[in-house]
Amino acid sequence: MENIINITLIDREGKEHNLEAPTDMNMNVMELCKSYELPVEGTCGGMAMCATCQVYVLSEHELPEKSDDEEAMLDQAFFVQQNSRLGCQIHLTNELDGLRLQLADSVD
């Protein structure tokens, strides 16, 4: 379908979810997860200020560079790995079709 991509998200119990993601709604991965009622808090609303939407990127997709805000937040967060990103900073675009993500553990 036009402007719909598929993203695979593995939750904290290891269960895979196939998410249909619209790319014309100005949405990000955190919002997508919330729309599927997956356990993502998104406490700060998407300002890269809480890390409750941290994900690990499992596929080889080329993602936009991290902003200073995102780098700073990941510096303060827990369970951070090399492939950590904040879901709220990954904007859904057609290039991300087939993206595989895993929810990071959360203390919040």
Partner 1 sequence: MIETDIIIIGAGPCGLFTVFEAGLLKLRCHLIDALPQAGGQLTEIYPKKPIYDIPGFPEVLAGDLIHNLMAQAAPFKPGFTLGERCESFQVDDDGKFIVTTSKGTLHKAPIIAIAGGLGSFEPRKPPISNIADFEDKGIEYIVRDPNFYKDKKVVISGGGDSALDWAHFLANGVAKEVTLIHRSKSFRGHPDSVQKAMDMAEAGKIKLITDAEVVGINGSDKLSSITIKHLPEGETTVETDHWLPLFGLSPKLGPLADWGLNIDKNSIEVNTFDYSTNIPGIYAIGDINNYPGKLKLILCGFHEATLMVQSAFKRIYPDKNYVLKYTTVNGVNGF
**Stretch near partner 1 under the rule CB under 8 A, chosen from 14-22, 59-67, 88-96, 100-108:** 100-108
CB atoms within 10 A of CB 44: 16
Residue from 45, 59, 64, 98 binding partner 1 (CB under 8 A): 45
Which helix (H) or strand (E) segment holds residue 26: the answer is none
Q: How far apart are CA 76 and CA 44, in angstroms?
A: 15
In the complex, the smallest distance separating the C-beta of residue 91 from partner 1, rounded to whole angstroms, is: 18
In the complex, the smallest distance separating the C-beta of residue 57 from partner 1, rounded to whole angstroms, is: 18
- Contact positions with partner 1 (CB under 8 A) in 56-95: 68, 71-72, 75-80
Q: How far apart are CA 8 and CA 80, in angstroms?
A: 20
Residue number, 61 or 66, with CB nearest to partner 1:
66
Residue 105, Cα to own-chain centre: how many angstroms? 13
- Contact positions with partner 1 (CB under 8 A) in 25-44: 43-44
Dihedral sign (CA 95, 97, 100, 103):
positive
**Sites of contact with partner 1 (CB under 8 A):** 43-45, 47, 49-50, 68, 71-72, 75-80, 105, 107-108
